[in-house]
Every structure is written in structure tokens, then in C-alpha cells.
Amino acid sequence: MSHLDQLENVSIHILREAYANFKSLGMLWSIGKDSTVLLWLARKAFFGHVPFPLIHIDTGYKIPEMIAYRDRLAREWGLEMIVGKNEEALKRKQTYPDGTVDRITCCRLLKSEALKHTLSGTWPRYCLNHETGQYELYRNTEPFTGVIVGVRADEEGSRSKERYFSPRDRENVWELGDQPPEFWNQFKTEFPPGTHVRIHPLLDWTELNIWEYIEREKIPTVSLYYNQGDGTRYRSLGCYPCTFPIASSSRTVRDIIEELKSGQLKNIAERSGRAQDKDDGGGLETLRREGYM
């Protein structure tokens, strides 16, 4: 069995454990490479069907190609696609692009707050109507008790402190000192009432593993990850005012794999193009404690 097979088996096991143990389960889909691999694994785990809704937090500032890719795949794969947004902050122009708040506050409003209220059902959330192609008000206001997330431990410092099953409180606040031990593939899946749990099936995958799996499985990804002729590509995707490409000649998945194996990027953080990380002291500790992905 190859290393990719082993990673795949563990991830599928985690996905099935989550489905078996959490009544109200959803999966966050950021449209990036990691969460798209996670979506692919979910389709494998449940024989082509994803038995829980996908959740995307739309800040209103995502690169347009990301949104087009999201809606196309949702229609082609028959996904239950829920979108949440902080409509009030956008209406009041409380955003970094509008010049009224700093980047961290913008992320807190458009990502952390939007995610928290979308998961709890306290704000309106919208579901894709496959017949019309439009997003309509999602009538189900039941909170999600478990949410599957495409977090990898090697991507960024605060994420290395996660568990496969990571509890949060009712407000989605993450207490690092209150994480359950996980030894010998034994996972805690029972938590007190009111606990919100994040599930991380990709925790032990690396960036290289992700791209090798994308190549092996022929998973469709956003073309932003590849050099389109200007000598740059995106390594991590986010909001267009705060996300920047890296210098790279990689035009294909194979090129990216070779680029990673060569060590050309070893001194460049994967999220080096994400400006909010720098503003948060070089990481995402503050935002993630408050419920950010």
C-alpha cells in the first residue's frame, strides 16, 4: 500500500466516523486545493454521494473564477451547497478594501463572524437551487454540531495544534489546552451537549501529498494555481485584495509536484501570499481562536 493510499484510508475512516457520530454535519469548502481534495474523498467515502451539505463563506471579495468553479462543480456533482455571508458588514462597508477597518478586523467580520453565525443558523444562509442555478434562502436553521474542515498541520503554525476531532464551545471559540489526546488511531467523538466539533481528515497530509493525490485522481482544480504565462501562480487562495501570487513557472500539476520536490519553495511559507497572516503576527492564531478556519 502506498503512502497516499494510507492517507486516503485514514481520511475516509475519519469522514465515516464523523457521519456516524454527528447528527448535524457539514463540510466547509473554501474552493482551494485542500478542501477540494477533501470533497473528492467524501465522494469516495460515500460512493459518489456527499450525504451532508457543503458550506462556503463568501466574503464578497473572492476571485471571480473561484465562485464560477464552485457553482459549476456544485451543479455537476449534485452538491447541497450552502453559502453564508456577513451582509450587514458589507452593506456598511466595514471592510479593508473600503478602507474603514484593518485586515484582521475585516477577516474577523467577513470570515470568523460570518462562519460562526452561518454554522449556528442565526444569520440567513443560502442554498443553490440546481434547477434555476440561483441561491435561495435556506429554510433549515438547525445549527451544525460537527463541521469537516480541510486543515493540514504542516500548512501553518496554529493548525499543527489541532486534533482530528477538535472541540469548540458554543461560540466556536477554540481552547488549545482543552484538546483530547489521540493515540493509536483512537478518536474521541463524544462531547458534552453544546459542544461544536471541527473534524480534520487531512491533518497529516502535506502540500506535496495534496498535489500528488490531485495528479493521481485527476481532480479538477481552479486554474489560478497554475502559471498562465506571466511567471506567477497562486499557492494559496483567498480574497483578491489580500492574496498575492508567487513567482513560479509551474503550468501543470506535475510541474507543481516537481517544484515542491526540488526545494525551490522550502524557504517560502505556503501562505506567504496571504497578507492577513502577516498582520496577525505571522500566523492565524488570533483569528483561529475566534473560530476562523
Reported as a single tens digit per residue, the pLDDT across 80-129 is 999 999 999 999 999 999 999 999 999 999 999 999 999 999 999 999 99
More confident residue, 134 or 177: 134
- The reported pLDDT for the residue numbered 222 is 96
Quick one: pLDDT at residue 119?
Answer: 93
Same domain? For 224 and 169 the reply is no
Q: Which amino acid is at 110?
A: L
Q: What is the pLDDT of residue 171?
A: 61
Q: Rounded distance, CA 186 to CA 71, Å?
A: 37
Based on the domain organization, do 223 and 161 belong to the same domain? no
Domain check: are 198 and 231 in the same one? no
- Cβ neighbours of 177 (radius 10 Å): 5
Residue 216 corresponds to which amino acid?
R
Same domain, residue pair 176 and 70? yes
* Rounded alpha-carbon distances, angstroms, from residue 234 to 43, 124, 223, 274: 26, 31, 9, 10
> Would you say residue 288 has pLDDT above 80?
no
User: What does the mean pLDDT of the chain come to?
Assistant: 89
Percent with pLDDT over 90 in the chain: 73
Pairing of strands 81-84, 135-137: unpaired
133 and 64 assigned to the same domain: yes
- Of residues 194 and 42, more confidence is placed in 42
Residues 6+ apart with CB under 8 A from 60: 85, 90, 95, 110
The reported pLDDT for the residue numbered 192 is: 76
* Structural domain containing residue 285: 3-205+280-289
Q: Are residues 233 and 285 in the same domain?
A: no
> Rounded CA gap, 247 and 244, in Å?
10
pLDDT of residue 183: 67
Element housing 70 (H / E): helix 64-77
Q: Give 218 or 196, the one with higher predicted confidence.
A: 218
Question: In what helix (H) or strand (E) does residue 286 lie, and over which residues does it extend?
Answer: helix 285-289
Q: Looking at residue 174, what is its pLDDT?
A: 59
Can you tell me the distance from the alpha carbon of 174 to that of 161, in angstroms, rounded to the nearest whole number? 11
Helices (H) and strands (E) in the chain, counts: 10, 10
Does 211 lie in the same domain as 136?
Answer: no
Using the predicted structure, report yes or no on whether residue 278 has a pLDDT greater than 90: no
Instruction: Report the pLDDT value the prediction gives residue 224, as an integer from 0 to 100.
Output: 97
Mean pLDDT of 206-233: 97
Strands 125-128 and 81-84: antiparallel
Q: Are residues 246 and 261 in the same domain?
A: yes
Q: Are residues 93 and 238 in the same domain?
A: no
**223 lies in the same domain as 90:** no
CATH number assigned to the domain comprising residue 23: 3.40.50.620
Residue percentage of the chain with pLDDT more than 70:
86
Handedness of CA 35, 40, 45, 51 (dihedral sign): positive
Selection from 19, 194, 30 nearest residue 120 by Cα: 194
HSE (CB half, 13 Å, CA atoms) of 215? 14
Does 156 score more than 80 pLDDT? no
Residue 193's pLDDT is 79
Q: Are residues 188 and 45 in the same domain?
A: yes
Output the pLDDT for position 65.
96
Note the pLDDT of residue 289: 59
Domain count, the chain: 2
Which pLDDT does position 229 carry in this prediction? 96
More confident residue, 138 or 279: 138
d(CA 274, CA 283): 10
Residues 99 and 182 in one domain: yes
- The CA-based dihedral angle spanning residues 202, 7, 188, 151, taken in that order and rounded to the nearest 10 degrees: -10
Which of 257, 195, 201 is CA-nearest to residue 225?
A: 257
Residues 162-212: tens digit of each pLDDT: 788 888 766 656 565 667 666 667 777 777 777 789 999 999 999 999 999
User: Residue 283: is its pLDDT beyond 70?
Assistant: no
Question: What's the pLDDT band for 158 if we cut at 50, 70, 90?
Answer: low
The answer to whether 291 and 116 have CB atoms below 8 angstroms apart is yes
